[in-house]
A and B are shown apart, each in its own frame.
Chain A
Amino acid sequence: MILINITKHLESADGPLNASFDLEISNGEFITLYGPSGAGKTTLLRMIAGLEKPDSGTIRVDDEIWFDSVQKINLSPQKRSIGFVFQDYALFPTMNVRENLLFAASTDSSKLFLDELLELTELTNLAHRRPDTLSGGQKQRVALARALVRKPKILLLDEPLSALDSAMRLKLQDELALIHTRLGVTTLLVSHDIAETVKLSNRLAQIQSGKIVRIVKPLELFSTHAVSGKLQFVGEILSIQYDAPIYVITLLVGHSVVKTVVSSLEAQSLKIGEKTIIASKAFNPILMPIK
């Protein structure tokens, strides 16, 4: 069980921000921190890791106190059982893949685990390659494997997939999901990507201006208005075009671009860039396997 109750004054791009986070995470859970940039998601992750110090509050992990402003306890990152995957992967450039993982390993048992991790992340064949000879997706896997070598209690992922193309992204999402199931490590993911969030996490903490505004199951976040639809998606409006007498709306649903039509009355309530629900209940959708 991880209990977080901390505050911190932040200087964000939009001016000063008094962040306060209150979050309870069960062991083995996969939680996504979702919200606009500058809301404090990364800062929250860094405070859990001990890379930044909260102004006040407590961070407790099982029976251990990692941070307590009253008791003046602040464990260094070295003493916290965490694995951190940085946005830029932060691989050690002078070490090859295996050496990057070995650097993290401390005992012989974890060296055995290291081989298992290389296998799990499909890196065995790349073990002797230097980071700068790897693709973005491969680097990301090395960073993930390295963060797991010490069998951390908490895995912290700071937008690890944001720099990858969508195909690689989907593949690594599957891999992340697999690793989470296999190792059962409590995971906190910072993400902008709705599809990713829905696919991976058990719960989702929506963060706005330094506060957790709500914690929900992923799909609930995007379906605030209950629609008794048979088929329901969340999409982002890319364009609204008037094509008399109707409006053609182009949406991004997951990684696909979808077009649909609405009446001019309906179109008035829609804005480009907004999240919207697309639901259908009037006819049967057609499903065809892709081969």
Chain B
Amino acid sequence: MESEFIATMVLTFKLASITTLILLLIAIPLAWILAFNNLRFRSIVETIVSMPLVLPPSVLGFYLLLAFSPVSTIGSFLIDHDIRLAFSFEGLVVGSVLFSLPFMVHPIQAALSQVPRSIIEASYTLGKSPLITAIRVVLPSIRHGLISGIVLAFAHTVGEFGVILMIGGNIPGETRVASIAIYDEVESLNYVMAHQYALTLFAVTFVILLLVYTLNKKSLMSIR
């Protein structure tokens, strides 16, 4: 029982970490484009990014499940390439990335839109390429947005339930994450285990947030 608990918790945080990392890589360029480029289809892109905020998780989960199924075009293509996403950990990662996308993109986009255009231009006039400018000038000055995005995306993935239940099911060690396990334990009236999961999630989330906000406050003060 104890080893299953640990395996579930490890899986939960592994999913959240991988999702957060992938999101960070996707969200920075995406937020950059949304904040700085005058895209023609900007409203459409923004709408798609924000959809998971209002869409019931089961809707996204349902369509992902259909897309992953071997009878669909995407699913059969993936299976031909030996990628099984339905009821697998990889599938959970894909679902979580989509579902937590706005939680990463929005804080970064908001922070980027606060960056004065002139510091980017100043860097260009000092001979620095857009990439160097992004890494050395822009990203350090939006690190509060980055931290908010990381924390929100991580916490949101840890707390994810609907999408995971739809596309991952409840396979121990593969797709059973803590939020699913709580539901499962309650269903079988095993309140002690449900408590153990719930309290652990509660404590870990509290500590992470507390740590981040404390660090954030310190680094804010060091600038001032």
Q: How far is the CA of A104 from the CA of B116 in the complex (A)?
A: 18
Chain B residues within 8 Å of A92, by CB = 119, 122-123, 137, 141
Assess whether A76 is in contact with B124, with CB atoms less than 8 Å apart. yes
Majority-rule SS of A interface residues:
loop
Give the chain A neighbours of B140 by CB distance below 8 A. Answer: 94
> Is A38's CB within 8 Å of the partner chain B?
no
Asked whether B224 lies within 8 Å of A132 as measured between CB atoms, the reply is yes
B25 in the interface (beta carbon within 8 A):
no
Interface residues of A (CB under 8 A from B): 49-51, 76-80, 82-84, 86-88, 90-94, 103-104, 106, 130, 132-133, 146-147, 149-150
- 30 examples of A-B residue contacts, CB within 8 angstroms: A49-B125, A50-B124, A51-B124, A76-B124, A77-B121, A78-B125, A78-B127, A82-B125, A83-B125, A84-B121, A86-B121, A88-B116, A88-B118, A90-B119, A90-B122, A91-B122, A92-B122, A92-B137, A92-B141, A93-B223, A94-B141, A94-B143, A94-B223, A103-B126, A106-B127, A130-B223, A132-B223, A149-B126, A150-B126, A150-B127
Shortest Cβ-Cβ A-B pairs, 3 listed: A90-B118, A90-B122, A94-B140
Q: Which residue of B lies closest to A106 (CB)?
A: B127
A residues within 8 A CB of B121?
A: 51, 77, 84, 86, 90
Q: Which residue from chain A places its CB closest to the CB of B224 in the assembled complex?
A: A132
> Which B residue sits closest to A86, measured CB to CB?
B118
B128 is an interface residue with CB less than 8 A from chain A: yes
Q: How far is the CB of A114 from chain B (nearest CB, A)?
A: 12
Residues of A contacting B125 in the complex (Cβ-Cβ under 8 angstroms) = 49, 51, 77-78, 80, 82-84, 147
Complex: A92 Cα to B137 Cα, angstroms: 7
- The residue of chain A having its C-beta at the shortest distance from the C-beta of B117 within the complex is A90
Q: How large is the interface on B (under 10, 10 to 19, 20 to 34, 35 or more residues)?
A: 10 to 19
Enumerate chain B residues within 8 angstroms of A103, measured Cβ to Cβ. 123, 126, 128, 136-137
Contact at A90–B116, with CB atoms within 8 Å? yes
CA distance A84 to B121 in the complex (A): 9
Query: CA A151 – CA B123 in complex, angstroms?
Result: 15
Shortest distance from the beta carbon of A268 to any chain B beta carbon, whole Å: 46
- CA separation between A130 and B222, bound complex, in Å? 9
Q: A77-B121, A146-B126 are in contact. List 17 more A-B contacts (CB 8 A).
A: A49-B125, A51-B121, A51-B124, A77-B124, A78-B124, A78-B128, A80-B125, A86-B121, A86-B122, A90-B116, A90-B119, A91-B122, A92-B123, A93-B223, A133-B224, A146-B122, A150-B126
Closest approach, in angstroms, between the C-beta of B121 and any C-beta of chain A? 5
Residue on B with the closest CB to A146? Answer: B126
**Cβ-neighbour of B141 out of A77, A83, A84, A93 (below 8 A):** A93
**A51-B124, A93-B141 in contact; A78/B223 too (CB < 8 A)?**
no
B105-139 at interface with A (beta carbon < 8 Å): 116, 118-119, 121-129, 136-137
Q: Taking each of B123, B126, B136, B143, which has the highest tally of chain A beta carbons within 10 Å of its own beta carbon?
A: B126
B137 contact set on A, CB distance < 8 A: 92, 94, 103
CA distance A103 to B137 in the complex (A): 9
Q: Could you tell me the distance in whole angstroms from the C-beta of B205 to the nearest C-beta in chain A?
A: 29
Residue of B nearest to A133 (CB): B224
Complex: chain B residue closest to A99, CB-CB: B136
Set of chain A residues within 8 Å of B127, measured between Cβ atoms? 78-79, 104, 106, 150
Neighbouring B residues of A84 by C-beta, 8 Å: 121-122, 125
Q: Which residues of A contact B128 (CB under 8 A)?
A: 78, 103
Separation in Å of the B32 CB from the closest CB of chain A? 18
Measured between alpha carbons, how far is A50 from B224 in the docked complex, in Å? Answer: 33
> Would you give the shortest CB distance from B110 to chain A, in whole angstroms?
17
